[in-house]
């Protein structure tokens, strides 16, 4: 049996979902893998709760939901730096801050500092992956640590891991995907009579799947981020987020909505990454898909991806709905992989 202590930075929807899911799964992780995972520090804004004997996670989650912050929780202390966490026996850091598209901060600075002192990094915050994934992975390799990215590129829908493992050295020609569960939920709900855009978005927010700023979902940013992270590694390392052509679902023409309501076609927010000469292009836009399209049957907040490879043909994965538990489970998978790699 081996123990692996980790810290969580960010106690919003994603952080709390991880804490609750962890409580449900830690016994089976121990039984199946012989690893005792221990969440011993939670950083919320500038404050931190730390206890090497383990934290009362359900109570902390309820407190945060009641009061909006942990700062008044008894025994709170100032947030520790990653090197201080390391010296308290912590080996992994989960970053669950809201994604900052502009420069990835403050997550990126924390991610660099965590790897500098040898902590494993598990990302739910997509900012550091969008801005610096190759740099972070090189830094991790230098110190024998790892970077978990499952929750930045689809969570319950496996994407980057499949590309890196299953495709091996095969050439990838294009990626076509529905990668934002919130938008898919909204587009599915809008087909139902009497459901408004605001009702559908409110449902996604209640489910805890919309981003803190839901414009990231409905204006196509979230799809674009995920696709740029995927496409950079495989199609074009120089691909920039600024070059993405992006249209969201906030100003859908009534004609399109009517077709989706009355006809057999369905609306999907689709991202495409493809080769254009030596470079790659990423385009995100709503499209009507016909019943023979593999993305047609996606229900609720389900997602899907098709990888096209001259060497291996097409591979479509679908399902992987966005959900609190799906994200938490993806984070736990990355933590477990990090802990196993250290043995």
Looking at the Cβ atoms of 203 and 222, the one nearer to ligand HSE is: 222
Q: Does 159 bind ligand HSE (CB under 6 A)?
A: no
User: Reading across the β-sheet that carries 2-9, which strands appear in turn?
Assistant: 77-78, 47-50, 35-44, 2-9, 90-95, 120-123, 147-148
Rounded to whole angstroms, how far apart are CA atoms 101 and 290?
33
Rounded to whole angstroms, how far apart are CA atoms 329 and 92?
16
- Whole-number minimum distance, CB 211 to ligand HSE, in Å? 5
- How does strand 35-44 pair with strand 47-50? antiparallel
Distance of CA 104 to the CA centre of its chain: 14
- Whole-number minimum distance, CB 154 to ligand HSE, in Å? 7
- Whole-number minimum distance, CB 335 to ligand HSE, in Å? 18
Helix residue spans in 191-308 (DSSP H)? 197-206, 215-218, 221-234, 254-262
**Closest CA relative to residue 219, chosen from 254, 250, 189, 198:** 250
- Whole-number minimum distance, CB 80 to ligand HSE, in Å? 27
Helix residue spans in the chain (DSSP H)? 13-33, 57-67, 82-87, 107-116, 126-143, 160-165, 181-189, 197-206, 215-218, 221-234, 254-262, 324-341
Of the listed pieces 55-63, 101-109, 176-184, 245-253, which binds ligand HSE according to CB under 6 A?
A: 176-184
Rounded to whole angstroms, how far apart are CA atoms 60 and 19?
9
- Whole-number minimum distance, CB 279 to ligand HSE, in Å? 26
User: Reading across the β-sheet that carries 313-319, which strands appear in turn?
Assistant: 245-246, 279-289, 266-276, 174-178, 303-309, 313-319
Of the listed pieces 114-122, 178-186, 191-199, 252-260, which binds ligand HSE according to CB under 6 A?
A: 178-186
- 39 within 8 A of 21, measured Cβ to Cβ: no
Binding mask 71-110 for ligand HSE (x = CB under 6 A): ----------------------------------------
Binding mask 28-57 for ligand HSE (x = CB under 6 A): ------------------------------
Rounded to whole angstroms, how far apart are CA atoms 119 and 95?
12
Q: Does 236 bind ligand HSE (CB under 6 A)?
A: no
Q: Does 182 bind ligand HSE (CB under 6 A)?
A: yes
Looking at the Cβ atoms of 100 and 259, the one nearer to ligand HSE is: 100
Binding mask 183-212 for ligand HSE (x = CB under 6 A): --------------------------xxx-
- 157 within 8 A of 298, measured Cβ to Cβ: no
Kindly determine how many residues on this chain lie close enough to bind ligand HSE according to the rule CB under 6 A: 9
Query: How crowded is residue 341: how many other Cβ atoms within 10 Å of its Cβ?
Result: 11
Looking at the Cβ atoms of 10 and 82, the one nearer to ligand HSE is: 10
Binding mask 247-286 for ligand HSE (x = CB under 6 A): ----------------------------------------
Looking at the Cβ atoms of 92 and 320, the one nearer to ligand HSE is: 320
- 146 within 8 A of 121, measured Cβ to Cβ: yes
Binding mask 291-330 for ligand HSE (x = CB under 6 A): -------------------------------x--------
- Whole-number minimum distance, CB 220 to ligand HSE, in Å? 12
Q: Does 217 bind ligand HSE (CB under 6 A)?
A: yes
- Alpha carbon distance, N-terminus to C-terminus of the chain: 10
Query: Which residues contact ligand HSE (rule: CB under 6 A)?
Result: 180-182, 209-211, 217, 222, 322
């Amino acid at each position: 049996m081996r123990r692996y202590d980790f810290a969580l930075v960010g106690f919003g929807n994603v952080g709390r979902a991880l804490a609750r899911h962890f409580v449900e799964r830690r016994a089976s992780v121990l039984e199946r893998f012989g690893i005792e995972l221990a969440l011993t520090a939670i950083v919320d804004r500038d404050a931190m709760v730390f206890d090497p004997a383990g934290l009362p996670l359900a109570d902390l989650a309820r407190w945060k939901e009641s009061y909006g912050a942990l700062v008044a929780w008894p025994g709170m202390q100032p947030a520790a730096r990653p090197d201080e966490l390391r010296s308290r026996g912590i080996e992994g850091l989960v970053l669950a801050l809201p994604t900052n598209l502009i420069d990835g901060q403050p997550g990126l600075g924390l991610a660099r500092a965590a790897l500098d002192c040898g902590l494993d990094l598990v990302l739910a915050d997509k900012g550091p992956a969008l801005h610096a994934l190759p740099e972070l992975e090189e830094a991790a390799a230098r110190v024998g640590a790892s970077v978990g990215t499952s929750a930045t590129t689809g969570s319950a829908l496996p994407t980057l891991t499949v590309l890196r493992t299953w495709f091996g050295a095969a050439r990838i020609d294009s990626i076509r995907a529905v990668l934002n569960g919130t938008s898919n939920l909204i587009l599915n709900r809008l087909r139902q009579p009497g459901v408004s855009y605001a009702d559908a978005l409110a449902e996604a927010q209640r489910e805890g799947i919309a981003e803190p700023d839901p414009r990231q979902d409905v204006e196509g940013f979230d799809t674009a981020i995920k696709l740029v992270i995927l496409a950079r590694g495989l199609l074009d390392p120089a691909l920039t987020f600024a070059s993405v052509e992006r249209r969201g679902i906030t100003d859908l023409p009534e004609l399109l909505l009517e077709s989706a309501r009355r006809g057999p076609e369905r609306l999907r927010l689709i991202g495409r990454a493809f080769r254009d000469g030596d470079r790659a292009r990423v385009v995100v836009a709503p499209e009507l898909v016909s019943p023979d399209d593999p993305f047609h049957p996606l229900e609720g907040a389900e997602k899907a991806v098709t990888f096209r490879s001259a060497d291996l043909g097409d591979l479509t994965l679908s399902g992987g709905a966005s959900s609190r538990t799906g994200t938490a489970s993806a984070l736990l998978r990355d933590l477990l992989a990090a802990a196993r790699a250290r043995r």
